[in-house]
């Protein structure tokens, strides 16, 4: 326990605890058909960060970190993990050589190391993690696509999730409800028929379209 609560490592322990808390909140939110990642990306202008010139130093920094490549919450989680790991490693090395660094100095070194590590990991994750729907592909372009219910069932209550593949081959995870009169089970093929303000409406896919859903 001393390794996690010592004066020189408490910033990294706190970062680790925040990371665990964010993961727990996101998992709980997904169970009720909600996503903190989607909300954070939408409210903070996820796509806007990709245009650093429009948002000054912060925008340029976020663009360099590849904020447009993964959801903003994922980017934060990656940075927290990198910061905590780098901090513990730095303090372990300092202790082996002489004595642990002051917490402030160790935090600065860990932050410097965590930043490029976050950039590298976010670029890798961008190839793996399906992105939430954003304005890079307009909402109207996703209407008419066939997908699969990845979090459901879909009804007229809380939104679930539908995975679709756009014409460029990119996978999108859409917040969606079933059209009136429909209840669609998780794993079923759906046809996206409408959408507004980031929320889509879907119906069971006709048999000829459901045979080979493009999101599988």
Q: Are residues 182 and 198 in the same domain?
A: yes
Q: 183: closest CA among 211, 159, 158, 155?
A: 155
Q: pLDDT at residue 98 above 50?
A: yes
Q: Are residues 22 and 92 in the same domain?
A: yes
Q: Are residues 161 and 98 in the same domain?
A: no
Query: Residue 6 belongs to what domain range?
Result: 2-129
CATH no. for residue 194? Answer: 2.40.50.140
Asked whether residue 118 is domain-assigned, the answer is yes
Q: Are residues 11 and 83 in the same domain?
A: yes
Distance (Å, whole) CA 37 – CA 107: 26
Q: Are residues 120 and 164 in the same domain?
A: no
Asked whether residue 58 is domain-assigned, the answer is yes
Asked whether residue 141 is domain-assigned, the answer is yes
Q: Are residues 152 and 87 in the same domain?
A: no
Q: 35 and 175 in contact (C-beta within 8 Å)?
A: yes
Q: Are residues 138 and 55 in the same domain?
A: no
Q: Are residues 46 and 153 in the same domain?
A: no
Asked whether residue 216 is domain-assigned, the answer is no
Q: Of 153-157, 193-197, 212-216, where does mean pLDDT reach its minimum?
A: 212-216
Q: Are residues 114 and 17 in the same domain?
A: yes
In this prediction, residues 28-38 reach a mean pLDDT of 60
Q: How many CB atoms lie within 10 A of CB 134?
A: 18
193 vs 71: which has the higher pLDDT: 193
Q: pLDDT at residue 180 above 70?
A: yes
pLDDT score of 63 = 61
Q: Are residues 39 and 119 in the same domain?
A: yes
Domain end marker among 102, 129, 156:
129
């Amino acid at each position: 326990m001393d390794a996690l609560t010592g004066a020189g490592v408490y910033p990294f322990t706190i970062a680790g605890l925040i990371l665990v808390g964010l993961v727990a909140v996101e998992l709980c939110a997904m169970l009720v058909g909600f996503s903190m990642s989607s909300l954070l990306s939408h409210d903070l202008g996820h796509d806007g960060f990709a245009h650093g010139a429009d948002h000054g130093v912060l925008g340029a920094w976020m663009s360099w970190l590849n904020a447009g490549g993964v959801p903003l919450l994922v980017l934060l989680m990656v940075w927290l993990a990198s910061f905590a790991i780098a901090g513990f490693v730095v303090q372990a090395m300092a202790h082996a050589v002489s004595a642990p660094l002051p917490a402030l100095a160790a935090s600065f070194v860990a932050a410097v190391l965590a930043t490029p590590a976050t950039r590298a990991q976010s670029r890798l994750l961008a190839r793996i993690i399906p992105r939430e729907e954003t304005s890079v592909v307009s909402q109207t372009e996703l209407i008419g696509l066939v997908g699969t219910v990845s979090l459901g069932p879909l009804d007229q209550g809380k939104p679930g999730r539908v995975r679709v593949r756009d014409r460029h081959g990119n996978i999108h995870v859409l917040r969606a409800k079933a059209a009136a009169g429909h209840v669609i089970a998780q794993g079923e093929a759906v046809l996206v028929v409408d959408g507004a303000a980031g929320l889509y409406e879907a119906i069971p896919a006709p048999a000829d379209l459901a045979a080979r859903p493009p999101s599988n």
